[in-house]
Structure 1
Amino acid sequence: MFFKQFFDKKLAQTSYMVACQQTKEAIIIDPKRVVDEYEDVAEAEGFNITQVTETHIHADFASGLRDAAKRFNATAYVSDEGDETWKYEDMPEGTIFLKDGDIINVGHVELKVVHTPGHTPESISFVLTDRGGGSSEPMGIFTGDFLFVGDIGRPDLLEETANMEGTTEEGANAMFESLKKINDYPEFMQVWPGHGAGSACGKSLGAVPLSTLGYELRNNWVFDYDDKEEFIKELTSDQPEPPSYFAQMKKVNKEGLPEFKVKEVAVGTPDELPGQLFDLRSREEFRKGFKKGAINIPYNDKFLQFAGWYIDYDQPMTAIANPEDGKTLQEDLASIGYDSLQLIVPVEEAGRYFDDAYENVSSEEFITNFEDKNILDVRSASEYNNGNLENAHHLHFGQLDEKEVPFDENDAIYVHCQSGVRSAIAMSVLKARGYDNVVNIEDGYAGIAQALK
């Protein structure tokens, strides 16, 4: 048997390839939308990708299920469990719909379907047994967003992102019951989750890429609760705010997206910049000069997790970026379902559009008479609840373009996050909304707390 884990650091998302080395058949589990990497591995190993499947309708990235089925002429397998109002649509011809107890055979490797609802009603897991290797015992389980290392999938995303009222309570109850199914399996069985640390699909995901059932039974907080009500209370509290693009992902992963292909993107400096403007330079460079209205998301490993809060899927995009990043940028945006990058303005040419800047202050400067200042705390709710300035107003940085800011446009506003990264993004959003008298506290709440000691 062949096994490979693919980890997308930018989305904290994990996909897998399993193959039978005797028959050379391979399956991809929870594929991302850009499928080139799977093709490269299959070619290098001499495998034929014959099947593709996923554990559920994802909320945090654009699925590559349909793209992979088309690219590799592979049979798609999807869940047919859950509520009739939440089912896959427009699947490729020949798609096989799975129920609890069904088996996918990849050559001599067996994947048994286990319905594990809670994160979503249709969520399934796959228990792998290497029959070709002579085993009758399960080697591991692909859990998707059911069971993570150190955590469990949140049950509130359908209600939060798809406006399906009451599904949080239903999901939490279902998750409690799904956990009982784990008791049917040996503790040596490996756990192969769909996400790692950095994902918003849970609140305390571990950074270790895999685990064992026995380790999770002893160390994962979810197994500390025998009382259902206490479990549900803990599961539904302090979950991170879901990025706004999650709603789009739920829709397109249910209905499907056009096949992704890299295209030629215009590079230039026209008088009028089309659509929404994203400036991908560093925060240090951005604050010195920028075009008002631009959203500053530095192009690094956190780009997608931040940009997803602000992308308008109905508008084209202009990006101030390095043209040589055009292909990678398209692939990154495609992974959250956005295919409308229209123009790249080279970084070295961007200065011709600059008409604004903003001020940074250190925490030491800020704390002078800070009790009399207008303070906007743009951290997460859990961070704010764990410690804050008494006179600070809280508004998550990703919600600044959709919720009411608790100050007038002409007020002097001091903005902070935890370390200065998210507040720099917030500065660009506030500037775009017309708040011109804003000041960034460059080292955030951590610096403020230290300065106040």
Structure 2
Amino acid sequence: MYFKQFYDQKLSQTSYMVACQKTKEAIIIDPKRVVDEYRETADVEGFKITKATETHIHADFASGLRDASRKFGATLYVSDEGDENWKYQNVPDDTVFLKEGSIINVGNVELKVIHTPGHTPESISFVLTDHGGGSTEPMGMFTGDFIFVGDIGRPDLLEEAANMEGATEEGANAMFDSLKKMKDYPDFMQIWPGHGAGSACGKSLGAVPLSTLGYERKNNWALKVTDRAAFINELTSDQPEPPSYFAQMKKVNKEGLPEFKVRELTAGTPEILPGQLFDLRSKKEFKKGFKKGAINVPYNSKFLQFAGWYINYNEPMTIIANPETSKTLQEDFASIGFDNIQLIVPMDQAEQYSDDNYENISPEIFTKDMSSKNILDVRTNSEYHAGNLESAAHIHFGKLQNADIPFNNEDKIYVHCQSGVRSAIAMSVLKARGFDNIVNIEKGYIGIKEAMK
């Protein structure tokens, strides 16, 4: 048997390839939208990707399931569990629909389906047994968003992202019951999760790429709580805010996306910039001068987790970036379902559009007189509840585009996050909304608390 794990750091998302080395057949599990990496691996190893499947309809990234059919000729295997609201649409005629107990054979490798609802109603997991290696015992389980290292999948995304009232409690109850199905499996069985640390699909995911069921029984809180009410309370409390793009992902992964293809993008400096404007320069460069209305999300490892809050999927996009990154940018945006980049403005030519800037202030100067200042805290709920400035208004940085800001446009507003990264993004959003008299507090709440000592 052949096994490979693929990890997308920008989305904290994991996909897998399993193959039978005797028959040269391969399956990909939870594929991301850009499927080139799977083709490259299969070509190197001499495999043919004949099947593709996924554990559920994902909310945090654009699925590559349908492109696996288009580009590899792979037969798709999808869940037929759950209610009618979350059935796969627009899949090929030869798609196989899976129920509890269904078997996918990849040569001499067996994947047995377990229905593990909780994160979503249709969620399934796959128990792998390597018959080609002579085993009758399961080697491991692809758990998707069911069991993570150190945590389990959140049950509230259908309610938070898809506005399905009552789905959180229903999902939490289902998750409690799903975990009971693990009692008959051995401690040595490996756990291959769909996400790692940094994902918003849970609140305390570990950074280790895999685990064992025995280890999780000893260390994962969810496998130790036996009281249903206590379990539900813990599972539904203090989950991170889901980025706004999650709602779009649930829709497009259910209904399908067009085939992804890299395009030749125009790079230039026209008088009029089409659509929404994202400026990918560093916060240091951006603050010196920028075009008002631009959203500043620096192009780094957390780019997609931040940019996903602000994308309008109904508008084209102009990006201020390095044109040499065109292919990577298209792949990154495609991974959260956006394919409509129209123009790249070279970073070294962005200055000609500048008509605004903003001010930074040190925490030492800020804390000299806070009593009369308008303060806006743009951290997450959990950060805010762990400690805050009593006089500060609180709005999550990702919700600033549409939230009611409790200040007037002409008020002087001091903005902070935890360390100074997200507040810089917030400054661009507030500027775009017409709040011109705003000041960014360097080093954020950490710097403020240090200056107050």
Is TM > 0.5 for Structure 1 vs Structure 2?
A: yes
Match of 2:190 in 1: 190
Match of 1:203 in 2: 203
Question: How many angstroms does 1:165 deviate by?
Answer: 1.0
Question: How many angstroms does 1:224 deviate by?
Answer: 2.7
Separation in structure 2 between the aligned mates of residue 386 and residue 306 of structure 1, nearest angstrom: 22
Match of 1:71 in 2: 71
- Mapped pair 1:52 → 2:74: no
SS at match of 1:304: helix
Match of 2:364 in 1: 364
- Mapped pair 1:230 → 2:226: no
Match of 1:261 in 2: 261
Partner deviation per Cα, 1:293-317 (whole Å, 9 max, x = no partner): 0000001111100000000000000
Question: How many angstroms does 1:223 deviate by?
Answer: 2.0
Separation in structure 1 between the aligned mates of residue 84 and residue 298 of structure 2, nearest angstrom: 41
Match of 1:293 in 2: 293
- Mapped pair 1:306 → 2:306: yes
1:62-101 correspondence to structure 2 within 5 Å: 62-101=62-101
- Mapped pair 1:387 → 2:387: yes
1:7-406 correspondence to structure 2 within 5 Å: 7-406=7-406
Question: How many angstroms does 1:169 deviate by?
Answer: 0.8
Partner deviation per Cα, 1:207-257 (whole Å, 9 max, x = no partner): 000000000000011123111011101100000000000000000000000
Separation in structure 1 between the aligned mates of residue 152 and residue 399 of structure 2, nearest angstrom: 25
Match of 1:5 in 2: 5
Q: What TM-score do the two structures reach when normalised by structure 2? A: 1.00
SS at match of 1:178: helix
Question: How many angstroms does 1:371 deviate by?
Answer: 2.1
Question: How many angstroms does 1:382 deviate by?
Answer: 0.5
Separation in structure 2 between the aligned mates of residue 263 and residue 23 of structure 1, nearest angstrom: 36
SS at match of 1:152: coil
Separation in structure 2 between the aligned mates of residue 372 and residue 180 of structure 1, nearest angstrom: 55
Question: How many angstroms does 1:184 deviate by?
Answer: 1.2
Counterpart AA for 2:373: K
Separation in structure 2 between the aligned mates of residue 295 and residue 385 of structure 1, nearest angstrom: 27
Question: How many angstroms does 1:92 deviate by?
Answer: 1.2
RMSD of aligned alpha carbons: 0.5
Question: How many angstroms does 1:362 deviate by?
Answer: 1.1
Question: How many angstroms does 1:402 deviate by?
Answer: 1.0
Question: How many angstroms does 1:265 deviate by?
Answer: 0.7
Separation in structure 2 between the aligned mates of residue 315 and residue 70 of structure 1, nearest angstrom: 27
Separation in structure 2 between the aligned mates of residue 449 and residue 106 of structure 1, nearest angstrom: 57
Question: How many angstroms does 1:69 deviate by?
Answer: 1.2
Across the two proteins, how many residue pairs are aligned to each other? Answer: 453
Match of 2:436 in 1: 436
Partner deviation per Cα, 1:318-340 (whole Å, 9 max, x = no partner): 00000000010000000000000
Partner deviation per Cα, 1:240-295 (whole Å, 9 max, x = no partner): 00000000000000000000000011111000000000000000000010000000
Partner deviation per Cα, 1:46-90 (whole Å, 9 max, x = no partner): 000000000000000000000011111010000000012221111
Match of 1:409 in 2: 409
Separation in structure 1 between the aligned mates of residue 302 and residue 237 of structure 2, nearest angstrom: 25
Separation in structure 2 between the aligned mates of residue 242 and residue 117 of structure 1, nearest angstrom: 19
Counterpart AA for 2:162: A
Separation in structure 2 between the aligned mates of residue 129 and residue 362 of structure 1, nearest angstrom: 58
Counterpart AA for 1:63: S
Structure 2: 5+ residue runs without aligned partners?
Answer: none
Separation in structure 1 between the aligned mates of residue 249 and residue 110 of structure 2, nearest angstrom: 30
Separation in structure 2 between the aligned mates of residue 432 and residue 138 of structure 1, nearest angstrom: 55
Separation in structure 2 between the aligned mates of residue 59 and residue 442 of structure 1, nearest angstrom: 33
Counterpart AA for 2:17: M
Partner deviation per Cα, 1:176-213 (whole Å, 9 max, x = no partner): 00000111100000000000000000000000000000
SS at match of 1:42: helix
Counterpart AA for 1:391: S
Separation in structure 2 between the aligned mates of residue 301 and residue 197 of structure 1, nearest angstrom: 13
Q: What TM-score do the two structures reach when normalised by structure 1? A: 1.00
SS at match of 2:51: strand
Separation in structure 2 between the aligned mates of residue 323 and residue 67 of structure 1, nearest angstrom: 26
Counterpart AA for 2:255: E
Separation in structure 1 between the aligned mates of residue 284 and residue 161 of structure 2, nearest angstrom: 33
Identity of aligned residues (%): 75
Counterpart AA for 1:317: M
